[in-house]
């Protein structure tokens, strides 16, 4: 339990004058979110699961994070909270590719409805993160073909997902956007409903508003797996036409934003991005000259491994580094088990192929940027975007049973809903 007045003396760096009132608004909004869950049109078991997860997220947001905020004086969350409420701030609409400004604008819109309370904004961000994880969970149920609340608890309470989906900033928004994309993609491959494409498209659109390079990452696996679709020719060609057009449009925006015309421009951009992340206690010095194709290729395998599985235990000497190290050790253990159980027949399933390609596309893109290679703290934060899918796929293969009757989480030989 928090001591009386703790929100005030632990919130020294929060740009707010009355921290106790600010905290009270956070508590009120947290209770209101319970009411929203209670009346949400979801299954009773899901409602119980969501309320359980929400209780834990509230303890993190209104408890643990007070000590986190007291320890770090220069969090991005402070500027995300303060700037949109400043008298001189003017809302000028959303611009594709300007993720920071778009996040400010989203928070400005939030202030049109809710009070300008730091803790309330944090609670609201955590609530967005809750529904993001729920979207991944619902996508997982389509793959499983049955209910299993253990999957919801595992995804929602995995430490990195639990923490970063409860912070003020881009992470909960991006996670929600990718959740829409993942649920839409899985529903499309399994059911072929056009409504799934609407959700998928919304997810991509919201993703590129925050991080424009996510557009090609999200679209590329869809284009490739179109070859494996079971739907009719008309649907397939409509989807190919839309996806190719969107891919070309977003790729052109990425090239324009980063001024990339040639391979040399691309390598120079990567090198500059890498060096810009060389700061903090979890930074890593990259000895390679990334403008040289040979050295770039040599550094790439380690960068891809880093994007998914570092820091390892002992690499970062703080609490967050310790937790991330344990997480990554668990992921590597699952990877070893999953690798021994995957079969060629699994790759005939378009959903599995899409998910694996999505993980590969994300890993390659973030390794190309070397953001995660250069700064292991940044690696943990960015990995949350892909972590639910990575964790789901590792469990899918690692927990496969020899008998099709004995299915655990992620058990192979899935059945279709209602089948």
Per-residue pLDDT of 49-103, as tens digits, reads 999 999 999 999 999 999 999 988 889 999 999 999 998 898 878 888 788 999 9
Tracing tokens 């608890």 back to the chain, one arrives at 153
Specify the length of the chain in residues. Answer: 419
Residue 176 in any domain: the answer is no
In sequence order, the 6+-apart residues with CB closer than 8 A to the CB of 133 are: 53, 152, 155, 156, 161, 165, 175, 179, 388
Written as one string, the DSSP assignment of 15-60 is S-S-HHHHHHHHHHHHHHHHHHHHTSSS-HHHHHHHHHHHHHHHHI
User: Rg of the chain over CA atoms, in angstroms?
Assistant: 22
Which of 119, 143, 164 finishes a domain? 164
Domain that holds residue 159: 16-164
In sequence order, the 6+-apart residues with CB closer than 8 A to the CB of 300 are: 367, 368
Residue 247 in any domain: the answer is no
> Are residues 153 and 293 both part of a single domain?
no
Residue 81: CB atoms within 10 A of its CB come to: 25
- C-alpha distances (whole Å) from 104 to each of 79, 84, 126, 171, 194 are 9, 6, 17, 13, 32
Return d(Cα 270, Cα 254) in angstroms, integer. 13
Residue 108 in any domain: the answer is yes
* Residue (of 367, 364, 369, 371) closest to 277 by Cα position: 371
Residue 94 in any domain: the answer is yes
Residuewise pLDDT in 10s, the chain (419 residues): 566 688 888 889 999 999 999 999 999 999 999 999 999 988 889 999 999 999 999 999 999 999 999 988 889 999 999 999 998 898 878 888 788 999 999 999 999 999 999 999 999 999 999 999 999 999 999 998 888 999 999 999 999 999 999 999 999 999 999 999 999 999 988 887 778 889 999 999 999 899 888 888 998 888 878 765 655 666 666 666 666 766 676 666 666 565 565 555 555 555 555 555 544 444 455 555 555 555 666 777 788 888 888 888 888 878 888 898 999 999 999 999 999 988 888 888 889 999 999 999 899 888 755 444 456 777 788 899 999 999 999 999 988 644 333 333 444 444 333 33
Return d(Cα 172, Cα 167) in angstroms, integer. 7
Residue 39 in any domain: the answer is yes
Residue 391 in any domain: the answer is yes
Give pLDDT tens digits for 98-127: 889 999 999 999 999 999 999 999 999 999
Which of 111, 137, 164 finishes a domain? 164
> Are residues 284 and 158 both part of a single domain?
no
Which of 164, 196, 223 finishes a domain? 164
Residue 174 in any domain: the answer is no
pLDDT of residue 3: 65
Residue 301: CB atoms within 10 A of its CB come to: 10
Element (H, E) at 299: helix 293-309
CA atoms within 13 A on the CB side of 18: 8
Tracing tokens 């989480």 back to the chain, one arrives at 409
pLDDT of residue 357: 92
Return d(Cα 125, Cα 199) in angstroms, integer. 20
In sequence order, the 6+-apart residues with CB closer than 8 A to the CB of 254 are: 97, 212, 213, 215, 216, 260
SS3 158: coil
Number of domains in the chain: 2
In sequence order, the 6+-apart residues with CB closer than 8 A to the CB of 287 are: none
pLDDT of residue 167: 94
Residue 145 in any domain: the answer is yes
> Are residues 418 and 287 both part of a single domain?
yes
């Amino acid at each position: 339990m928090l001591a009386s007045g703790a929100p005030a003396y632990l919130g020294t760096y929060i740009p707010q004058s009355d921290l106790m009132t600010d905290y009270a608004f956070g508590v009120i909004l947290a209770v209101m979110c319970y009411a929203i869950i209670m009346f949400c049109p979801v299954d009773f078991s899901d409602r119980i699961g969501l309320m359980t997860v929400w209780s834990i997220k509230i303890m993190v947001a209104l408890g643990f994070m007070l000590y986190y905020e007291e320890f770090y004086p220069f969090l991005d969350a402070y500027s995300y909270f303060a700037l949109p409420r400043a008298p001189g701030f003017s809302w000028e609409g959303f611009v594709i590719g300007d993720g920071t400004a778009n996040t400010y604008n989203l928070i400005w819109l939030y202030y049109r409805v809710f009070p300008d309370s730091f803790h309330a904004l944090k609670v609201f961000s955590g609530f967005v993160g809750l529904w993001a994880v729920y979207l991944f969970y619902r996508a997982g149920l389509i793959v499983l073909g049955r209910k299993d609340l253990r999957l919801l608890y595992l995804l929602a309470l995995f430490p990195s997902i639990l923490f970063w989906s409860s912070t003020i900033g881009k992470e909960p928004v991006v996670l929600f956007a990718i959740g829409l994309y993942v649920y839409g993609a899985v529903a499309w491959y399994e059911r072929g409903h056009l409504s799934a494409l609407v959700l998928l498209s919304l997810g991509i659109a919201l993703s590129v508003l925050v991080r424009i390079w996510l557009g090609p990452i999200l679209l590329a696996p869809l284009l490739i797996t179109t070859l494996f679709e079971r739907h009719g020719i008309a649907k397939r060609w409509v989807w190919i036409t839309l996806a190719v057009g969107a891919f070309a449009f977003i790729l052109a925006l990425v090239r324009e934003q980063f001024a990339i015309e040639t391979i040399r421009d691309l390598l120079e951009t990567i090198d500059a991005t890498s060096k810009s992340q060389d700061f903090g206690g979890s930074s890593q010095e990259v000895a390679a000259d990334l403008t040289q194709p040979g050295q770039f290729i040599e550094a790439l395998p380690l960068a891809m491994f880093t994007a998914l599985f570092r820091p390892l235990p002992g690499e970062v000497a703080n609490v967050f580094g310790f937790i991330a190290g344990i997480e990554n050790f668990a992921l590597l253990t699952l990877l070893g088990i999953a690798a021994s159980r995957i079969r060629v027949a699994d790759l005939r399933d378009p959903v599995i192929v899409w998910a694996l390609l999505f993980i590969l596309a994300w890993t390659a893109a973030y390794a190309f940027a070397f953001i995660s290679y250069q700064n292991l703290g940044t690696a943990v934060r960015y990995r949350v975007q892909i972590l639910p899918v990575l964790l789901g796929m590792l469990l899918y293969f690692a927990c496969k049973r020899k008998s099709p009757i004995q299915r655990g989480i992620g058990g192979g030989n899935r059945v279709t809903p209602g089948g």
